Amino acid sequence: MSTLTVLTLQYLCLASVGVYLVKQVIFAKKNRAPYPPGPRGLPLVGNLRDMPHVKPWLTFTEWGKKYGDISHISILGMHIVVLNSVKSAEEMLDKKSSIYSDRMVVPMSGELMGYSQTMGYLRYGERFRSFRKNCHHIFGNRAALVDYHPIEEMEAHQFLKRVLAKPDQLRAHIRHTAGAVILCLCYGYEVKEHDDPLVNMAKRVLEQFCRYGPFGEFMVDFLPFLAKVPEWFPGAGFKRLARECRETAEEAAAAPYIFVKDQIAAGIAPKSFVSDLFKDHTLTAEEDYVVKWSAGSLFSGGSDTTVSANYSFFLAMTLFPDVQKKVQAEIDAVIGPDHLPSFADHASLPYIEALTKEVLRWNAVVPIVEHSVTEDDIHDGYYIPKGSLILPNIWFMLNDPQTYTNPSEFNPERFLTKDGKEPEADPRKACFGFGRRLCPGLHLADASIWICAAMSLAVFDVSKVVENGVEITPEIDPSSGSISHPKPFKCSIKARSEKALALIQEDTY
């Protein structure tokens, strides 16, 4: 955590004491209902020392076991409510979405780093609704994505060729493909085969966001007035860091947007999210801003979540070879060896559909999402103050042993009806978020995982690598951060047969 000097911080904390105590007294008089249960805080600073900074979902899970589905802490007067069940999240964030759809202003990542301009950080209001409306235009349902299936299939085929050529660069290939799809859909931009500037730019933005973006990484999140401290002030390195991140984020939103506008002016812009929104009229300044940043939000957020999910798929195939064999058996029986699977085969491949759900469940790409409440609320007899930060613990919801049998195992069959037994809960009820802040790209994510899995296992065998005669088992250790990625791992990827090799090398698309 980046802070000012210890002495300065002590003075700043003491300066907050008066306000904190007054607020506590006011709340106590105003409210007869108790706060949700939670760890006991210290005088003055509350639960400052209890707030986890590395894989917070694990700490929140322990709170859930001890305190129940809804728990609460307070840090310097800021109230944080953690939700550890789908039921509590749906009751609050879905059914009461009119008051639980806001986003707290996060001083570091939102205001200083510039992410307050992106859809994920926007306060709930007219601009947010405009962002959502634009995104629904292209990603709103499965039918809306059908026009873009050829692009996804083409890029998935190119992915197979890259993996065949350099299997040891799997993660880079996944990132390149995810970037190529989202850039084409959003901007009509064709990615260069090597060292593409926009793909590299998105990577920098996301690395900065995942490293510095999570709430609570910097003391300014708890003491917002520190945002006014000048960069030269001792201990204010976070201000310089934030400025650099902001410049990168703004460049990443502007560069591809300018590219499209130039193509539109020249009359050569292909169909895309941005070009469609420019059709038939000139945008106002507000509309121009909304289009630029809604596209930028999809570009930056959509590509990295897809990278995490598809990298998790390959990790699962490395660790669970029996699952891989069942997928390949379904592909061989339904598709045969003479062509690659396509989206036209979706309904005929139920095991791959189940595998897609299990990829989304097994490694929570976004373990925690942030909401804020705009009014005081009483829920389940507990007092939820206006402005509270609401944190649904999606990681635990997807790993709750009362919902999923042996949750650490990768088992797609949990989502199939078998021997009269109903499938387990669809993870998409939790993994894409809740209420009016539900991820707008959920159908694209589904499609990206499905086509990657279907095409890859049609032609490749994935297994553990052997080094010096020893089989290397990858470690399951997802990263901390706003978007969680599997720990880098090695695996062996080889063509299944000569026919598979020929399919990869075809120029079908």
Helix (H) or strand (E) holding 71: strand 70-75
How many residues are there in the chain?
Answer: 509
Cα-flanking dihedrals φ and ψ of residue 227, to 5°? -60, -20
The single residue listed with the structure tokens 């705009």 is 374
- Whether 327 and 351 have beta carbons less than 8 Å apart is answered as yes
Determine the Cα–Cα distance for residues 101 and 93; give it in Å rounded to an integer.
Answer: 7
Smallest Cα–Cα separation from 77: which of 242, 224, 249?
224
Could you tell me which of 339, 289, 317 has the C-alpha nearest to residue 459?
339
Task: Render 28-49 in DSSP notation, one character per residue.
Answer: HHH--SPPPP-PPPBTTTBTTT
CA distance 80 to 389: 5
- Distance between CA atoms of residues 284 and 123, nearest Å: 21
Q: How far is CA 8 from CA 3, 21, 218, 237, 415, in A?
A: 9, 21, 15, 14, 55
Element (H, E) at 452: helix 442-459
C-alpha distances in angstroms, 89 versus 30, 213, 372?
26, 23, 13
Decide the pairing of beta strands 466-467 and 470-471: antiparallel
Give φ, ψ of 468 to 5 degrees: 55, 40
Question: What is the largest distance, in Å, between two alpha-carbon atoms of the chain?
Answer: 76
Q: Tell whether 439 is in a known binding site.
A: yes
Q: How far is CA 217 from CA 3, 45, 126, 223, 368, in A?
A: 10, 16, 30, 12, 15
Q: Annotate 180-204 with DSSP letters as a single string.
A: HHHHHHHH-PPPPSSS-HHHHHHHH
Cβ-contact 82, 64 below 8 angstroms: yes
Task: Supply 331's token pair.
Answer: 């592909």
Query: Residue 323 corresponds to which tokens in the numbers above?
Result: 């699952």
Residues paired with residue 309 on neighbouring β-strands, in sequence order: none
**358 vs 312, 323, 396, 399, CA distance in Å?**
10, 11, 15, 11
Q: What are the binding residues for heme?
A: 439
Please report, in range form, the residues annotated as the binding site.
439
